[in-house]
Amino acid sequence: MVLAARSGDVLDDIARELGPDALAVVTDVGERADVENLAERAVAAFGRIDTWVNVAGLTVYGPLREIEQADHERLIRTNFWGTVNGSLVAAEHLRAGGGALVNVGSIASDLAFPFQGLYAASKHAVKGFTDTLRMELIAEGAPISVTLVKPASIDTPLPARARNYMDREPMLPPPIYPPREVAAAILHAAEHPVRDIVVGGGGKLFTAGKEFAPGAFDQLAPAIIAMQKRKDPPREPEGALHAPRNAGRERGDQPGYVQRTSAYTRASLHPLASSVLGIGVAATVAAIAVGGGRRRS
């Protein structure tokens, strides 16, 4: 396993825990040269690359009109260009012997989130890039599976490390799922070619509802903004956008209940259960929409 992030001391600690088969390489994924060095170090240490996971991500909370251009650009450089750099470098190595490329997007790849506008835009871009790369690899017959993992709200320190323009400490909108659910999805994608995986049944319902009734979803903007604000004042509004800060923690301090697992995601990794779940989600969304229509009339 090769670990890459901006925080060298944290990477070294994790590599020591994992043992001699782990290598830590300080990397800013927004820099193509850093990513190329990462791949070269991995091949030099282990001979080849089997699976490449692009998971680096940052966010900024606040109205689009208030966010400084430098913050917009840093977010896009990490979330989008980091994925582009990693994917293109990985594909060059995976073409020879085959393997898996796993990009971590978000349900924000399919949804807009007010007060996280550039985050949603970056994840939309990651989806478009990933889908295009997959098609091009299929066209050339490259033995590479390409998976987009789309988590819902996950209990990581992402909000605490965000650049924050709001007057309150940020948080994730519920329901919240544990990080191990994303890890399980990534591992599954490394072992089984699958196009995409949504982590969290709540996220699947949101995206299905938005597709079924996009105008109704737009009207949820005030509620979505409110669900991203804690009662506390901002703690560290600068966050880790431009430089590492408070790195090394797996879990966040999300207020409220955190799901212990995602039954939807675990079931969706099995084809038969996935078909049944798809029918169930469609029926639920239809029922909600019909109920809403009756209330309006």
Architecture field, domain 48-296: 3-Layer(aba) Sandwich (3.40)
Q: Which residues belong to the active site?
A: 119
- So where are the chain's domains? 48-296
Query: Residue 256 corresponds to which tokens in the numbers above?
Result: 């409220």
Tell which phi-psi region holds residue 9, choosing left (phi > 0), alpha (psi between -120 and 50) or beta. Answer: alpha
Per-residue pLDDT of the chain (297 residues; tens, 9 = 90+): 999 999 999 999 999 999 999 999 999 999 999 999 999 999 999 999 999 999 999 999 999 999 999 999 999 999 999 999 999 999 999 999 999 999 999 999 999 999 999 999 999 999 999 999 999 999 999 999 999 999 999 999 999 999 999 999 999 999 999 999 999 999 999 999 999 999 999 999 989 999 999 999 999 999 999 999 999 999 999 999 999 998 989 999 988 899 999 999 989 888 654 455 455 544 444 444 444 444 433
Question: Please, are residues 164 and 62 in contact by the beta-carbon 8 Å criterion?
Answer: yes
What pLDDT, on the 0 to 100 scale, is given for residue 282? 47
Query: Residue 159 corresponds to which tokens in the numbers above?
Result: 């909000």
State the CB neighbour count (10 A cutoff) for residue 277. Answer: 18
Tell which phi-psi region holds residue 260, choosing left (phi > 0), alpha (psi between -120 and 50) or beta. Answer: alpha
**C-alpha–C-alpha distance, residues 120 and 176, integer Å:** 18
Considering only CA atoms, which of 179, 229, 174, 251 is closest in space to residue 205? 174
DSSP output for the chain? -EEEES-HHHHHHHHHHH-TT-EEEE--TTSHHHHHHHHHHHHHHHSS-SEEEE-----EES-GGGS-HHHHHHHHIIIIIHHHHHHHHHHHHHHHH-EEEEEE--GGGTS--TT-HHHHHHHHHHHHHHHHHHHHHHHHT--EEEEEEEE-EE-SSTTTTSEE-SSS-B-PPSSEE-HHHHHHHHHHHHHS--SEEEE-HHHHHHHHHHHH-HHHHHTTHHHHHHTTB-SSPPS-TTTTSSS--S---S----SS-B-S--HHHHHHTSHHHHHHHHHHHHHHHHHHHHHHHHHH-
**C-alpha–C-alpha distance, residues 119 and 107, integer Å:** 11
What pLDDT, on the 0 to 100 scale, is given for residue 272? 55
Q: What angle is formed at CA 127 by the lines to CA 141 and CA 195, rounded to 5 degrees?
A: 50
The predicted model scores a pTM of: 0.89
State the CB neighbour count (10 A cutoff) for residue 270. Answer: 12
State the CB neighbour count (10 A cutoff) for residue 193. Answer: 12
What pLDDT, on the 0 to 100 scale, is given for residue 270? 80
